[in-house]
A = this chain, B = another copy of it.
Amino acid sequence: MLDRKHSAPLYEQLKNEIQKMIKDGDLKPDDQIPSERELVEQYNVSRITVRQAINLAEKEGLVKRVHGVGTFVAKPKIKQELSNFNNFESTLQQQGLIATTKMLGSQVITSDFQLSRLLDINVMERVIKLELIGYGDEIPVVYYNSYFPNRVGEKMKQAAEKALQAEKPFSTLDLYRLDQEIGLHPTHVEQTFEAQSAHYPLTEILNVQEGFPLFRVTSIVYQDKTPLEYKETYYRGDKYKFFITRHM
């Protein structure tokens, strides 16, 4: 119940009530929250107070408004630190999600001009391509499309198959550390982040609609000055956020 003598304004108290319902599990992710009219009646407050409460809840990322449909409990996003490298499994675990990885495919291709430049190898050299999908609670959340020079790729493919057999969730970056025998020791990664809309085939791979917001991250993984991997990663925008502390 709301306390009219309390120093916190009514809309904030109402927001706290909504927050509590979510925390207690009375409202679950994707549930529609009670309508404005219902909240007005239930808490005996004005429509303006209800709207302010919902605005605040939306600002805090507790709920998501879908225009013309209603207001729904938001799913918390997976928070990925850019200052350190957590593995795929523990990043998802922190959100209470069970991580799994599947291999969409592996191919041997020959490098074109662009890949040769990115991997610092000759044109027409053998390149190994690995495509992985990362799942959180069986929903696809990230798609990795990696290219390795042949000598690196053969090891990575083996390491990936070993992890898949052991049912160990992983990203390609995890493989370098998971499998010590592989003998590869990345030193740094250059990354660009872009925001884009999903189109086919990403719509199918990540099971989202045309136009859905995605992060596109391109990475070059280096061991000292030698590129080990070029990767295009697509993260579902509703599932991921990236966090960084930048010093002046």
Q: Which residues of A contact B (CB under 8 A)?
A: 7-9, 12, 15, 56, 59-60, 67, 77, 79, 82-83, 85, 112-114, 123, 186-197, 199, 211-215, 235, 237, 240-248
Contacts and interface: CB of A to CB of B under 8 A. Distances in A.
Contacts of A242: 192-194
B248 A196 contact: no
Nearest to A197: B213
A195 to B, nearest CB: 4
B243 A112 contact: no
A231 to B, nearest CB: 13
A247 B213 contact: no
Contacts of A187: 247-248
Contacts of A195: 195-196, 213-215, 235, 237, 240
Contacts of A12: 112-113, 123
Contacts of A56: 112-114
Nearest to A52: B112
Contact of A213 (B9, B85, B196): B196
A129 to B, nearest CB: 13
A189 B246 contact: yes
A225 B121 CA distance: 47
A213 B245 CA distance: 24
Contacts of A245: 188-191
A122 to B, nearest CB: 10
Contacts of A8: 113, 123
Contact of A123 (B7, B79, B213, B215): B7
